[in-house]
């Protein structure tokens, strides 16, 4: 394997995208509310209260302005669960590849 082949393989890293069938979408963390809750601006233009599950709360810190994947609650559409947080590098890579909707693209 040459050096050129190795560099191109490292450039394309696999990142998780929202699963539309499971009502997942992109969101941006707007405001930290405390008690593992965050106000999230979703790609459909609705501001929702996001809940950070314990699995994610213990592994990664979420700050204002982070790109997230959220799953909207079926029975209460003004709330959502946070499923994944992108790093700044992953978010800018998705932005360059035009995967993020224009309403959220601040990266």
CATH of domain 15-92: 2.40.50.140
Q: Where are the domains of the chain?
A: 15-92
Global confidence as pTM: 0.81
What is the helix (H) or strand (E) element at residue 4, kind and residue range? helix 3-11
Q: pLDDT tens digits for 49-94? A: 999 998 888 888 899 999 999 999 999 999 999 999 999 999 999 9
Instruction: For residues 5 and 30, give the distance between their C-alpha atoms in angstroms, rounded to a whole number.
Output: 40
Q: pLDDT tens digits for 15-41? A: 889 999 999 999 999 999 989 999 999
**What's the half-sphere exposure (Cβ side, CA atoms, 13 Å) at 6?**
3
Instruction: For residues 15 and 17, give the distance between their C-alpha atoms in angstroms, rounded to a whole number.
Output: 6
């Amino acid at each position: 394997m040459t050096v050129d082949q190795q560099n191109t393989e490292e450039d394309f890293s696999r990142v998780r995208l929202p699963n539309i069938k499971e009502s997942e979408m992109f969101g941006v963390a707007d405001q930290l509310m405390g008690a593992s809750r965050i106000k999230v601006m979703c790609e459909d233009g609705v501001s929702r209260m996001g809940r950070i599950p314990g699995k994610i709360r213990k592994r990664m810190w979420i700050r204002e302005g982070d790109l997230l994947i959220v799953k909207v609650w079926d029975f209460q559409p003004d709330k959502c669960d946070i499923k994944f947080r992108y790093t700044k590098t992953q978010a800018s890579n998705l932005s360059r590849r035009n995967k993020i909707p224009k309403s959220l693209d601040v990266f």
